[in-house]
Amino acid sequence: MKKVLATFLLATMPAAGATYFLTVAGLGGEPDYEQRFTLLANDTDKLLKAGGGTDRVITTLKGADATKAKMTAALQKIAADAKAPDVLVLTMIGHGTHDGAEYKFNLVGPDISGTELAVLLNKVSAARQLVVDMTSASGGITPVLKRDGRTVITATKSGSEKNATLFGRYWVEALRDPAADTDKNETVTALEAYKYAQTKTTAFFTDQKRLATEHSQLEDPQRANAFPLVRYGAAAAVVTNPAKRALVTKKEEIENRIDALKYQKDLMAPEDYRRQMNALLLDLARTQSEIDK
């Protein structure tokens, strides 16, 4: 089996430039969400580390570590270390809320507001920044984060789209699936990943014959298209090993069944819902374990 390699880069940088990655999987609130958010964070972390190199700093906060204090400390550390030629990539996985005036990212303990996050990001000297907010109500954060050199991608178009989102898992899928590389140059840009995730999310609602409860947004497509995320080496195609490809396909099918079940929750007896959800989560965990071997 050939080892899958992926190099995550945000721009063509000077040799001294570094890329700072911060991935935060926030509070799930329910066991199924906790597991899904953790899996997404783990996948992102593994892909970043598989890229290798010494010009990157990777920080992943999940579970009990996903607190406002630790997220603040991580961004303050990046602000202290990062220089103008460097790059910052912030990925937020989980739930968000919006009260009509302020967006908040749900964390263990106190939440962090969009305004507080903007203050922290504005202190980072890195001239190029990417924020990917995959949470519900994430569109509410865009106005306070807008700034030259910062690309913001959100799972929803406004703070009023409050349902749990699907966009996040398709975004991570885009980073490992060569099909996201539409121009076949062995590089997946932020725009390509966005379009991949957007298309997959739309297809889910269409296939389930449901009204879409989320509409992702990207405020600057041109800049996103010049923002490389994943570069594949000659032996890096995920589909190289048929067994691994089959497992990834199985994982995607299980995740689709989990998402479909969530939309049926209100129509089911609580015990029946828990039984089916627990069975799917166990199957998902076993499949992920096989993929990781």
- Tell me the pLDDT tens digit for each residue of 122-138: 999 998 899 999 999 99
So what's the pLDDT on residue 187?
77
**Cα–Cα distance measured from residue 95 to residue 291, given in angstroms and rounded to the nearest whole number:** 27
What percent of the chain is predicted at pLDDT more than 90?
Answer: 53
pLDDT band at residue 241 using 50, 70 and 90 as cut-offs = low
Mean pLDDT value of segment 43-64: 78
Least confidently predicted of 19-28, 89-98, 244-253: 244-253
d(CA 281, CA 80): 40
Q: Is 13 or 231 the better-scoring residue by pLDDT? A: 231
Q: Which residue, among 57, 113, 32, has the nearest Cα to 275 in the 3D structure?
A: 32
pLDDT, mean of residues 255-274: 84
Model confidence at 5, pLDDT cuts 50, 70, 90, reads very low
The gap between the terminal CA atoms of the chain, to the nearest Å, is 11
Residue 35 has a CB neighbour count (10 Å cut-off) of: 17
Residue 282 exposure: Cα atoms within 13 Å on the Cβ side: 6
Name the band, by pLDDT with cuts 50, 70 and 90, for residue 53: very low
Contact (Cβ atoms closer than 8 angstroms) between residue 72 and residue 112: yes
Residue type, 182: T
Give the pLDDT confidence score for residue 199 in this predicted structure: 97
Quote the CA–CA distance of 139 and 104 in Å, as a whole number: 11
Fold (CATH) for 6-235: Rossmann fold (3.40.50)
Q: Which residue has the higher pLDDT, 17 or 224?
A: 224
- pLDDT band for position 188 (cuts 50, 70, 90): confident
| Average of per-residue pLDDT values in the chain | 85
Tens of pLDDT, residues 69-118: 999 999 999 999 999 988 899 999 999 999 999 999 999 999 999 999 99
Residue 19: pLDDT band with limits 50, 70, 90: confident
